[in-house]
Structure 1
Amino acid sequence: MLPQLVWRRPEAVRHELGDPLLARELLLYVWDKAAENLASPERVAPRGLQLTWHRVAGRATALLQLPAAQATGEAHLAAIVYEQPEADPASYERVPDDLDEEADDLLPDEPDEQLPRYFLLEATLGRSPDETGTPTMLGELRGEHHRHHAPGPPAGRTDTAGRFLQALAGLLGPPPEEVPVMRIVRG
């Protein structure tokens, strides 16, 4: 649900996630809304749900620490990466009180370069390359597409979040304004 909300109202969600009280309220709302159709034993308490902001390869990035993953495919961490500088706060839209079906029409079929990117550090099967921590995969959601980029850093370690952000920096490369321009000089 959170990626859909981020893509529907990118600047409004960015604004709310930038305020600690609003961020907590929004994340708990989305967590509860996502679980409302689950039976009680299947619901997971939001213990460990945290948000911190970072600069990753020159881009504003909201890092979400999620409750412990219980199964393959569940995420340990999520990162919302904003390619664009923050908009004027006067242009923020209100986040909807409910996530209605009609709003799904606003989601892109193809990735939009203006929309934030949503990355996951997902639990996987197998063994961690260095035998400490649990194996992960660096994934990305874009519109209706779910892509696995590469194996991620092992989860369950004190440096997992930092290594996840480093892996994102390598994947993202330099920000668009820092990409060197090649000039051909004839001698």
Structure 2
Amino acid sequence: MARLHPYNFTHVLLPQLAWRRPSSVRRELSDPTLARELLHYVWNKAAENVHVVDRVAPKGLRLSWHEVAGRVTALFHLPPPQATMEAHFSALVYEEKDEPAETEAEELRPRYFTLEAALGLSGPAGTPTVVGEWAGEMHRQLGRGPAGGRPNTAEAFLEALATVLGPLPDTSVPFMRIVRS
């Protein structure tokens, strides 16, 4: 069973924050100093209702930015999981709109993915994982993920996300030629 502190951070507070204020959070996460402060603030909030002995140090908690299938992606590196449903990584994937939103209510919410520890035996190849996605209150598993705890796990997770996301839709206007007869 997942430890409550990392579960609260990854599965509850981080996605709620990103969905409530998409552009503000993205802007804060884009600034390295603000990102560090925000991540540690949210990490501490996730521990508020957790007994002191069950709190987890934020060792390894950090953020990196990537492009995945043409989309800007914030990758959260999390403290190593110790139980199922705890995540190795999570990611906010930002879809771009053709026109900027006029209000925060009109903004596109980023998609939120996790690479979670799964049941199974760990071996030299790593630990079993599953890729998940949160959409509001709904959590769905998208299938087996790359082995966890390996030096290339982050890159393999981003590759798995690229497969899930697929290519960007072609929004260009097709060229049309009028022929008169």
Q: TM-score, normalised by structure 1?
A: 0.78
Counterpart among 122, 144, 147 of residue 151 in structure 1: 144
> Structure 1 residues 132 and 27, CA, compared in 2 at 3 Å: closer, same or farther?
same
Q: Residues 6, 119 of structure 1: CA spacing in aligned structure 2 closer, same or farther, 3 A cutoff?
A: same
**Residue aligned with 2:161, SS:** helix
CA displacement at 1:19 relative to structure 2: 0.3
Match of 2:22 among 10, 21, 34: 10
Look up the match of 1:185: none
Q: State the match for 1:117 in structure 2.
A: 111
Mapped partners of 1:159, 1:32: distance in 2: 28
Task: Quote the Cα distance in structure 1 between the aligned partners of 2:93 and 2:23.
Answer: 12
Counterpart secondary structure, 2:156: helix
Which ranges in structure 2 are unaligned for 5 or more consecutive residues? 1-12, 175-181
Distance 1:11 1:135, change over 3 A: same
Find the aligned partners of 1:17 and 1:87 in 2 and give their Cα distance: 22
Partners of 1:26 and 1:151 lie apart in 2 by 30
- Show the counterpart of 1:75: 87
In structure 1, the residue matched to 2:154 is: 161
1:114, distance to aligned residue in structure 2 (A) = 2.4
1:147-180: CA deviations, max 9, x gaps? Answer: 000100000100000000000000100112369x
Q: Distance in 1 between matches of 2:107 and 2:168?
A: 13
Letter in 2 for 1:73: M
Does the Cα contact within 8 Å between 1:11 and 1:92 map onto a contact in 2? no
Give me the whole-angstrom Cα distance separating, in 1, the residues matched to 2:146 and 2:171. Answer: 27
Matched residue, 1:52? 64
Aligned residues of 2:23 and 2:107 also touching (Cα < 8 A): no
Describe the SS at the equivalent of 2:170: helix
Structure 1 runs of 4+ with >6 Å offset:
none
Deviation larger for 34-43 or 79-88: 79-88
* 1-structure distance, mates of 2:138, 2:43: 22
Q: Who is 2:178 aligned against?
A: none
User: Percent identity among equivalent residues?
Assistant: 58
User: Aligned residues, how many?
Assistant: 160
- Give the deviation of 1:86 after TM superposition: 10
